[in-house]
Amino acid sequence: MNPQVAIIGTSQTKFEADKGYEDIPETVFKVVQQAMAEADIDRDDLDSIVTSSVDLWDGRTASNQMLTDVVGSIMKPESRVAGDGLGAVFQGMLAILAGASEITLVVSQCRGSLGVHNEISNWVFDPIYQQPLGLDYLSAGALQANHYMNQFGISQEDCARVVIKNRRDAQNNPYAQVVKEATVEEVMGSLMWAYPIKEMDAAPVSDGACAVVLASRHKAKALSKEPVWILGAGSCLDSHYLGDRDLTGGDALIRASNAAYGMAGISDPLKELDVAEVSAAFSYQELLWTELMGFCNRGEGARILKEGQTSLGGSLPVNPSGGMIVGNPVTVAGLTRLVEAVLQVRGKAGDRQVRGASRALSHGTTGCCGQGQYVMIVGN
């Protein structure tokens, strides 16, 4: 079947530890203007808008309230996804597939610098059973890391090599926040936060925003010389309660990626995909996610990384942008992955370009330890 929805404009901010020099509407207006300029549309062309932001991160309820002016949604239909930006793309795509919209702007913004990470992510958990115990994204991630590493005999050094690869590749990404290379020794010697996760294994506190313009097949062909098509998409949600989940089993991501592969007609992702941008807030997650998405067998994520298969120049480069480890705010990460995937298939990824990329995977996740999973495959 012909793909029905295309991406005709993208933009991202430079990601920074603290964008306090400008307010959120200012940051968002810039990415929105850039994405719309790239799509060569003005506000009259916009049929609907989907934003992604999370109240707790933004320190206010209905946190899209401050975006209405700057995303062009006055007197237009706007909806918000209180989660990852790639999830917002799913909503935008559905509006187009339903025939309710021909052009949809999707915007995601988050500022990690406004609040305190572990306080905020503590509030993600059940207020009666879990919050009082101090559980947060980091400590929950550490449970998952250990579970995974024990099951497959993955070492902390294996995880550190994810950081090395991503920090090295981030040198080529002008939008990256962390551009300092690292060694395995440095990662191993960094501050232990929650065993086995150390400071350098974790994504830094980050501020930034992203925007994409989606268009129906008809509009995309009329407006864009280089539309990038959504070839496959899948999403899946696991249970919220950690104790009910198989932490390493990753059924939600297996289902989400299989749905996307089915739509895109992909049977061997390692061979058939050219590049993958994966949302991993911790180094171990990149290994785990790549296994669950079938780039290799279970437990072999560290092996294919060590062999260079997931490096730039390998059979399936993973996160040539550097990924979340070099800085993307929590809820913007998935949309950043899509923007990077689009740049890759357009051949516009600059020094991080995977040569001849024509099919790219982007992945987003929401909630702790990959509760919600989104996989989107784009190509030209």
Partner 1 sequence: MKRNTEREELLRIPIQMKLQYRFPAGAHYERFFRELKKTGKIMGIKCPECERVLVPPRPVCGECFTRTGEWVEVGPKGTVVAHTSIYFPFIDGSTGKPRPIPYGAGLIQLDGAYSAINHILEEGDPDKLHIGMRVEAMLKEKREGNIGDILYFKTIEE
Shortest Å, Cβ 332 to partner 1: 17
User: Tokens 């290994």 label which residue?
Assistant: 287
Q: Residue 66: how many CB atoms within 10 A of its CB? A: 16
Backbone angles phi, psi at 202, to 5 degrees: -110, 150
Dist. CA 330–CA 284, nearest whole Å: 16
Name which position in 4, 79, 91, 131 contacts partner 1 (CB under 8 A).
131
Decide if residue 37 touches partner 1 (CB under 8 A): no
Query: Binding of partner 1 at residue 316 (CB under 8 A)?
Result: no
Taking CB under 8 A as the criterion, which residues in 53-112 touch partner 1?
56, 59, 68-70, 72, 74
Question: Taking the complex as a whole, how short is the minimal distance between the CB of residue 36 and partner 1, in angstroms?
Answer: 9
Other beta carbons within 10 Å of 157: 14
- Interface region with partner 1, contact rule CB under 8 A, candidates 23-31, 196-204, 319-327, 333-341: 23-31
| Per-residue CA distances from 192 to 141, 179, 188, 244 (Å) | 13, 22, 9, 27
115 binds partner 1 (CB under 8 A): yes
Pick the piece of the chain touching partner 1 (CB under 8 A) from 123-131, 223-231, 293-301, 369-377: 123-131
Q: How far is the C-alpha of 241 from the C-alpha of 191, rounded, in Å?
A: 29
Backbone phi, psi, residue 161, to 5°: -65, -25
Distances (CA, A) of 256 to 84, 91, 294, 318, 353: 15, 15, 11, 18, 26
Binding letters toward partner 1, positions 2-21, x by CB under 8 A? -----------------xxx
Is residue 134 at the binding interface for partner 1, with CB under 8 A as the rule?
no
Residues contacting partner 1: total by CB under 8 A: 28
Judged by CB, which is closer to partner 1: 23, or 307? 23
Indicate the Cα dihedral angle 246, 247, 249, 250, nearest 10°: 110
- 126 forms part of the interface with partner 1 (CB under 8 A): no
Among 119, 181, 185, 199, binds partner 1 (CB under 8 A): 119
Residues that bind partner 1 (CB under 8 A): 19-26, 29, 42-43, 56, 59, 68-70, 72, 74, 113-116, 119-120, 123, 127-128, 131
